[in-house]
Amino acid sequence: MTADLEARFRAGERAALARVLTLVENDPNVHETWIGKLPPIGRAKVVGITGPPGGGKSSLVNRMISAYRQRDRSVAVLAFDPSSRLTGGAALGDRVRMMETWDDDKVYVRSLASRGRLGGLSDAVFGALRVLEAYGVDVILIETVGVGQGEIDIADIADVTVLIQVPGTGDTVQLIKAGVLEVADILVVNKADLPGAERLYRDLSSLVHEVDPKPGAASVVKTSAAENQGIDELICQIEGRIASKAEGMKARRAAAELRHLVLSRAERRVNRQLRSPEGVALIDAVARGELHPQEAIERLGSWGS
Amino acid sequence: MTADLEARFRAGERAALARVLTLVENDPNVHETWIGKLPPIGRAKVVGITGPPGGGKSSLVNRMISAYRQRDRSVAVLAFDPSSRLTGGAALGDRVRMMETWDDDKVYVRSLASRGRLGGLSDAVFGALRVLEAYGVDVILIETVGVGQGEIDIADIADVTVLIQVPGTGDTVQLIKAGVLEVADILVVNKADLPGAERLYRDLSSLVHEVDPKPGAASVVKTSAAENQGIDELICQIEGRIASKAEGMKARRAAAELRHLVLSRAERRVNRQLRSPEGVALIDAVARGELHPQEAIERLGSWGS
């Protein structure tokens, strides 16, 4: 982080924001020096958007950007694509196309790779949130892929979590199996023009009521990104949820940030240890059954960091 | 672990196996004392089965059990269901039904909750593998849900990783986005009797060839669990892959086991710290922007374990 870059970032230069976010993603040291000293989320609203691949998340996010711009809010999108082991990067084709759509300096779309094992998000998300808050963004949409741990992490970070479902991809009971219903504030039936959308909407509505009959239970909203329908209703639901949850989320997000920082540091350390000649020897001994795994990790622990 | 339970386990008593696996799941101490001293996987073959919810994994696994039993192999299934935050457990309805189907002492089906953030598996999997190897099981099928980090973990553990896809759940290009193609050895087009199966098969085949044109690239197999078709072909592909990969997998699995043990220990420690009064005070200070996160984790680190 140079003084020049910081000055340009403080002056609101978009290219400087892009550079800073690249540092967030690639340079763990900048977290320990500069980014960790930025204020946490205060003014900005954080909305998590999650759902299975093929659910039309990117199109819906595009419609949401339009809706927020009509309300004169600036919007940033952080999209987490699962990273590829071989290439070390994410498949960015459709994301790049999405960014090209917006010629508006109040919209900023950024794709971040979800490295490592942190449930679809990397700890870059915490640095990115601090950077976007400092930049003065009004609304931050965090888009994650997949059904699994990803949603659980996003629910620790976002003021409100939106789960997208589409008709025709399996029984709604699978949602319970996946344990995601309990972390979503709003369930979206997207592609509501497809056959089966009405039934999915009814099933989800009764499922929500079964799991949690209280007034604070998740809402269910129908949208069609293709036909630009239901977007205002979705934004309205999001605003309502944020109003009721935002204060409690600040501590929950801070706890998640600390947990991620500690575990990322532990992960970097153990990966470094296991790649070293001593680590490889320990792995081989465990693989051959000559060393018990607990004994191996005691030896790892005694190396220091 | 009592001497009596150990004796009954060593004698091959199924009820004792069930009790030991319950200890694996619920008692971290038993890993440090007894289970960590069992030998690693040597004779048993480990097959990972993964795919999105609604892909028919359970039915396919049932057919695979039959096929292995016809070949006179004993089979254990470890099924990881994402755990529910509220209930702390997994939705076990269909799993229980599946277990009831088998009145055969060479088949053992077990559902394990995937606690925490370990990509759909918990480190219970490593203990369970050692227990099943010691019990003398021939084939261990590990079933995980979801598209995301789960597959990547399973590929570190299983001798061969099978990814199930079904027609009509989105473009195949989503597979690349999800980064899973590179960790799967065998791609299964399940529900091959549905419309679109032929096209999915062709798309996957050319996709595999594009990503990795070498002879060792992933195979694509069509199955129909409902009609019991393609199962022999799948088993045959699995056997072939295991033969070529098994040696290298032993070290990869040992490395994953050590990494998981270290990180689980770190996770238990940080969660304990963050729940303590000192931890809650640190979280609040970070949430209010009065303390930088790096400074907070330095203070956590200085508490010792």
A146 with B145: Cβ contact below 8 A: no
The tens digit of pLDDT for each residue in B282-298 reads 999 999 999 999 999 99
**Domain ranges, residue B4:** 1-37
The tens digit of pLDDT for each residue in A77-106 reads 998 765 433 333 334 444 544 555 567 889
Closest residue of A to B121, CA-based? A149
**Domain co-membership, B18 together with B86:** no
Structure tokens, B34 = 């007894």
What is the structure's pLDDT at B189?
93
- Let me know if residue A290 belongs to a domain: no
At A135, the pLDDT band (50, 70, 90 cuts) reads very high
At A107, the pLDDT band (50, 70, 90 cuts) reads very high
What's the number of CA atoms in the CB half-sphere (13 Å) around residue A155?
A: 19
**Domain co-membership, A24 together with A94:** no
The tens digit of pLDDT for each residue in B69-113 reads 999 999 999 987 654 333 333 444 445 445 555 678 899 998 877
The tens digit of pLDDT for each residue in A254-290 reads 999 998 888 888 888 999 999 999 999 999 999 999 9
Average pLDDT estimate for B146-157:
63
Using a CB-CB cut-off of 8 Å, the residues of chain A touching B120 are 148-149
At A180, the pLDDT band (50, 70, 90 cuts) reads low
What is the structure's pLDDT at B85?
35
Choose the weakest-confidence range: A98-107, A136-145, B158-167, B227-236: A98-107
What is the structure's pLDDT at B102?
67
- Let me know if residue A268 belongs to a domain: no
Task: Supply the pTM of this predicted model.
Answer: 0.78
**Domain co-membership, A28 together with A79:** no
Nearest-neighbour CA in chain A from B246: distance (Å) = 12
- Let me know if residue B305 belongs to a domain: no
**Domain co-membership, B16 together with B50:** no
Cβ atoms B178, B169 nearer than 8 A? no
Number of domains chain B contains: 2
At B303, the pLDDT band (50, 70, 90 cuts) reads low
Distance CA A128, CA A143 (A): 13
For tokens 């590990």, name the residue.
B142
User: Which 84-103 residues of chain B touch chain A by CB within 8 A?
Assistant: 84-86, 90-91
Supply the CATH number for residue B122's domain: 3.40.50.300
**Domain co-membership, B238 together with B170:** yes
**Domain co-membership, B33 together with B46:** no
At B237, the pLDDT band (50, 70, 90 cuts) reads very high
Domain boundary among A230, A246, A262: A246
The tens digit of pLDDT for each residue in A206-226 reads 888 877 767 778 899 999 998
**Domain co-membership, A165 together with A239:** yes
**Domain co-membership, A45 together with A194:** yes
A134 in contact with chain B, both atoms CB, cutoff 8 A: no
**Domain co-membership, B70 together with B119:** yes
**Domain co-membership, B16 together with B59:** no
A263 with B270: Cβ contact below 8 A: yes
Which range among A142-151, B118-127, B166-175 has the greatest average pLDDT? B118-127
User: Which 15-34 residues of chain A touch chain B by CB within 8 A?
Assistant: 31-32
- Let me know if residue A298 belongs to a domain: no
At A160, the pLDDT band (50, 70, 90 cuts) reads very high
Domain boundary among A197, A229, A246: A246
Sign of CA dihedral B114, B137, B155, A301: positive
Burial of B141 (0-12, 13-18, 19+ CB in 10 A): buried
B165 sits in which H/E element: strand B160-165
Residue type, A304: G
- Residues β-bridged to residue B112: B80
Cβ atoms A183, A205 nearer than 8 A? no
Tell me the Cα Rg of chain A. 21
The tens digit of pLDDT for each residue in B104-150 reads 889 999 887 765 444 446 778 899 999 999 999 999 999 886 544 44
- Let me know if residue A287 belongs to a domain: no
**Domain co-membership, B17 together with B112:** no
- Let me know if residue A218 belongs to a domain: yes
What is the structure's pLDDT at B90?
40
- Let me know if residue B297 belongs to a domain: no
Residue type, B52: P
**Domain co-membership, A62 together with A156:** yes
Q: What is the ipTM of this complex?
A: 0.84
- Let me know if residue B155 belongs to a domain: yes
pLDDT at B158 over 90: yes
